[in-house]
Structure 1
Amino acid sequence: MSRIDDFEAFMAVVEHGSLTAAARRLNRSLQSISRSLATLEESVGVELVQRTTRRSTPSEAGAAFFHRIKPAIDEINDARLQAANQRSEPSGILRVSAPVLFGPDFVVPVIADYMQMYPRVEVELQLSDGFVDLGAEGLDLAIRIGNLPDSSLRARRLGALRRVVFGSPSYFERRGRPTHPFELSKHSCIVRTSDQRPGEWMFQIEGKPRAVKVAGSFRSNLMAPIYAAAAHGLGLGYSPLWQIRHSVDDGRLEVVLSEFEPVPVPMHAVWPEGRSSSAKVRAFLDMLPSRPEFKNL
């Protein structure tokens, strides 16, 4: 039966490219790493790492094995660190990144409750719509909207964000409500000129993603004037629901074509591997999934 140390040795060899580098990473002797790897290979009955004098690379079976066990080993290590730090009160500076518009309305309320609960923690919030390098910026975690690229970061899904078509009650009284995306050609649509493909809105039609061309007499490069124009009856807009939630709730804007909405955009919290062992980070991560701010977005 292999020990957890054997799995960790194997993972370190794969991640760092050699037994010597793995030994340095784990603060173990080269002989100890070699024994762990041999024990694990004997246990599973297949060569996991192909060794040369200069480099060690995973075999095909080893690469598949690595990707299967890594999440489990990460969870075990997090659990061990969490147990060791269970009595640690969060303290210090928590550095968080969030999208520019999303952060103030949805992340700051979480931070406010978090700081009341843990008064020994200071929080620094950095707003950016780009996927910033957490290590280079000294950040503990980030809230990210969109599909995540492959990386060494750990991630926790927080929810998904709807993209909707909306207009004002006065517009619908004059022009009627579209019942299908193809009817948008008969409506005045407000185009954001800074989009990657201006004048194309995405929908899910008959189970497949479909781009529908739209046009209108008012355009803008930013969303704020588009929301204002839609509220004043100049046409239909298209955006993430969370950005217009307040206007929908107070009746200034209404959502249409809900049954044709594209697949929602995922939202995650991401953090560097091992950072969740910090009491301040772990406590913040634990607060996020249950927050009402992240529901019905």
Structure 2
Amino acid sequence: MNRIDDLEAFIAIVEHGSLTAAARRTNRSLQSISRSLATMEEAIGVELVHRTTRRSTPSEAGATFFARIKPAIDQINEAKLQAANQRLEPSGILRISAPVLFGPDFLVPIIVEYMRIYPRVEVDLQLSDGFVDLGAEGVDLAIRIGDLPDSSLRAKRLGALRRVVFGAPSYFEQRGRPAHPFDLNEHNCLIRNADERPAEWMFRIEGQPRTVKVTGTFRSNLMTSIYAAAIQGLGLGYSPLWQIRHLVDNGRVELVLTEFEPLLVPIHALWQDGRSSSAKVRAFLDMTAAGLALKDL
């Protein structure tokens, strides 16, 4: 056995709690795992794992050693896999999670082109606005909109989204156009009450992020209802631009206060350590980043 194999055996023992479980995980014999651990302890000169008949736990020195070598071994394995995959054509099943509204309009066209280029790949697209557990769900890649929570997942920024205020031409004919976010207190604002702070709209005023409280006579939990009400001239809506782009393009609504738009909302791809080394994942990341860069979001 080489030293990398011995290190991987030690890592498996710590992660799985016993030599027997480590042997199963690494597809090695129990004697081989035991020999690797003994070799490591002899070379370092300290006991790394406390053994009992039922459980193996790292010693204090073993826990410190594990914390230092685990990231290094992960990087070595990922580098080996990435090098091996350089010559491989993407193939297999690519499992993707994406937001419900964003997926069909923006990801599906990219997926279709991706599958034309790489016909050996099958795609399983799961649409959900919840934050899925990638490991538990067997997901290769998740597309998420908004700031990311702290996690052990890897991330790549793919683009960013605008948030805009909009209304129908008929509304502006009757009520005029707000020239400043503070003018919204004179307008009927359509409020999505499912938001965390439904009556607070974000803007950038004099270069600083500012929250403006709004009021209105119509509320709904679904943005589709907000859009319908805005089209009918009932009031002003506040939404990501990509969700109403078709309404803007066909003239059913118009944007206002564009010079006060808040900071862009990031779009990220998330994956577990090691997954990006897969040829199918790498190719999709590159194609998605390039595809979204061409969109006015």
Q: TM-score range by the shorter chain?
A: 0.7 to 0.9
1:187, CA displacement in angstroms? 0.8
Report the counterpart of residue 204 of structure 1 in structure 2: 204
Report the counterpart of residue 84 of structure 1 in structure 2: 84
Report the counterpart of residue 159 of structure 2 in structure 1: 159
Alignment of 1:256-267 (within 5 A): 256-267=256-267
Report the counterpart of residue 149 of structure 2 in structure 1: 149
Instruction: Tell me, yes or no, if structure 1 residue 291 matches structure 2 residue 288.
Output: no
What is the CA–CA distance in structure 2 between the aligned matches of 1:179 and 1:7, rounded to whole Å? 65
What is the CA–CA distance in structure 2 between the aligned matches of 1:231 and 1:78, rounded to whole Å? 51
Report the counterpart of residue 140 of structure 2 in structure 1: 140
Report the counterpart of residue 213 of structure 1 in structure 2: 213
**Is residue 143–residue 269 contact of structure 2 (8 Å, CA) maintained in 1?**
yes
What is the CA–CA distance in structure 2 between the aligned matches of 1:267 and 1:32, rounded to whole Å? 44
1:6, CA displacement in angstroms? 12
1:158, CA displacement in angstroms? 0.5
**Structure 1 residue ranges without an equivalent (≥5):** 40-49
Change (3 A) 1:252 1:90: same
Instruction: Tell me, yes or no, if structure 1 residue 279 matches structure 2 residue 286.
Output: no
- Report SS of the residue matched to 1:198: coil
What is the CA–CA distance in structure 2 between the aligned matches of 1:57 and 1:163, rounded to whole Å? 53
Change (3 A) 1:51 1:203: farther
What is the CA–CA distance in structure 1 between the aligned matches of 2:222 and 2:152, rounded to whole Å? 33
Further displaced range: 79-88 or 187-196: 79-88
Alignment of 1:161-200 (within 5 A): 161-200=161-200
1:181, CA displacement in angstroms? 0.8
1:4-52 CA distances to partner (integer Å, 9 max, x unpaired)?
99999999999x599x999998999789789999x9xxxxxxxxxx999
**Is residue 190–residue 216 contact of structure 2 (8 Å, CA) maintained in 1?**
yes
What is the CA–CA distance in structure 1 between the aligned matches of 2:246 and 2:203, rounded to whole Å? 23
1:244, CA displacement in angstroms? 0.8
- Report SS of the residue matched to 1:291: helix
Report the counterpart of residue 43 of structure 1 in structure 2: none
**Is residue 90–residue 280 contact of structure 2 (8 Å, CA) maintained in 1?**
yes
1:85, CA displacement in angstroms? 1.4
Report the counterpart of residue 100 of structure 1 in structure 2: 100
- Report SS of the residue matched to 1:227: helix
What is the CA–CA distance in structure 1 between the aligned matches of 2:205 and 2:35, rounded to whole Å? 60
- Report SS of the residue matched to 1:106: helix
Alignment of 1:37-52 (within 5 A): none
Instruction: Tell me, yes or no, if structure 1 residue 122 matches structure 2 residue 84.
Output: no
Further displaced range: 266-275 or 166-175: 166-175
| 1:248 partner letter | V
What is the CA–CA distance in structure 2 between the aligned matches of 1:145 and 1:58, rounded to whole Å? 41
- Please report the TM-score for the alignment, with normalisation by the length of structure 1: 0.77
- Please report the TM-score for the alignment, with normalisation by the length of structure 2: 0.77
What is the CA–CA distance in structure 2 between the aligned matches of 1:292 and 1:286, rounded to whole Å? 10
Q: Give RMSD over aligned pairs.
A: 3.7
